[in-house]
Amino acid sequence: MSTRFPLAANCPDWRNISITLKTPGRRVNERNRPLATTVFQNPCKIRRRQLFRRYCSEAFMRQTTIVLAILGVAIVYGAAQANPGVRWPSFNDIKSGSGEPLEQAGLSPAELKLVRAALNDLANGKGCQESNIQSCDAPESLFLAKVKITTDGQTAVILRSPRPDCGTAGCPIWVIQTSGKVLLEDFGWGYSILPSHEHRYFDVVTATGSRRVGLAMWSFDGDHYRVIRCASTDATDRPGPPQVSEQSCPASIQ
């Protein structure tokens, strides 16, 4: 038995294809019914399958593009929510403290050992060489506060130099995670932990100066804190939003 299939250039729909069966002694012409006994594939069906696969592939790409676009918007929105309109703290929100021995920080023996190791590394590093003696007395640092530094509850200690002659400008100040990681080094007399955060770490503001207080805002970049904004404000406890003047950051902390 031989079978002949008429095939147009655009491969018409199967239902409109005439199938001619040549058998001895008779001629049958059927319409609107697929040939179930054929031993090879219908070329129109193959073409339709190819077009269907191509359509599915293109549809998948379109859907993937849409999903990626939605994810991109969600990431941007999440970042905006994680750092919503960062504001400078008021003067009353800047904490200092008189300074206590590190042993009174309420650290576990393991945490105390890790923090002391970090302070010793500071004293042996570049911060204590030649004319730069900022970190030389780090091992004797005084404890200012133990704070929650990440959104998931990890803690850090705020420490300052034990120098008695710090004056109104301030002293070397450090933020060291209780795991032993040095997060921030600056010079000042006060600090404030902000509710805004990056990479789960809360933003930090350090303060220096007396009548006109210099402020530096620090944000975590995934490895350590870096200064992102600087400003100055009057040392006043008047109510209301702080009167802050934004300014460029000094080269020493950039």
Q: Taking residues 168-190, what's their average pLDDT? A: 89
* One domain for residues 130 and 73: no
pLDDT band at 88 (very low <50, low <70, confident <90, very high): confident
* One domain for residues 75 and 114: no
205 close to 215: Cβ distance less than 8 angstroms:
yes
* One domain for residues 110 and 176: yes
Range of the domain at 12: 1-82
The dihedral built from the CA positions of residue 239, 241, 243 and 244, taken in this order, carries a sign that is positive
* One domain for residues 53 and 29: yes
Can you tell me whether residue 98 is helix, strand or coil?
coil
* One domain for residues 71 and 98: no
* One domain for residues 146 and 237: yes
State residue 81's pLDDT score.
39
- Does 60 or 152 have the greater pLDDT score? 152
Return the DSSP state at 57: H
**Of the ranges 29-43, 168-182, 188-202, the best mean pLDDT one:** 188-202
Phi, psi of 37 (to 5 degrees): -100, 5
Q: Return the ∠ at Cα 206 (arms to 156 and 180), rounded to 5°.
A: 25
* One domain for residues 125 and 240: yes
Share of the chain above pLDDT 90, in %: 30
Instruction: Report the C-alpha gap between 21 and 224 in whole angstroms.
Output: 80
Q: Parallel, antiparallel, or unpaired: how do β-strands 155-160 and 142-148 relate? A: antiparallel
* One domain for residues 95 and 22: no
* One domain for residues 31 and 111: no
* One domain for residues 110 and 75: no
State residue 110's pLDDT score.
96
Q: Which of 47, 82, 117 finishes a domain?
A: 82
31-68 pLDDT per residue, tens? 444 544 444 456 666 766 777 677 667 666 677 667 66
**How many domains in the chain?**
2
* One domain for residues 106 and 68: no
* One domain for residues 131 and 239: yes
Q: Which of 82, 101, 118 finishes a domain?
A: 82
Q: Which of 82, 112, 142 finishes a domain?
A: 82
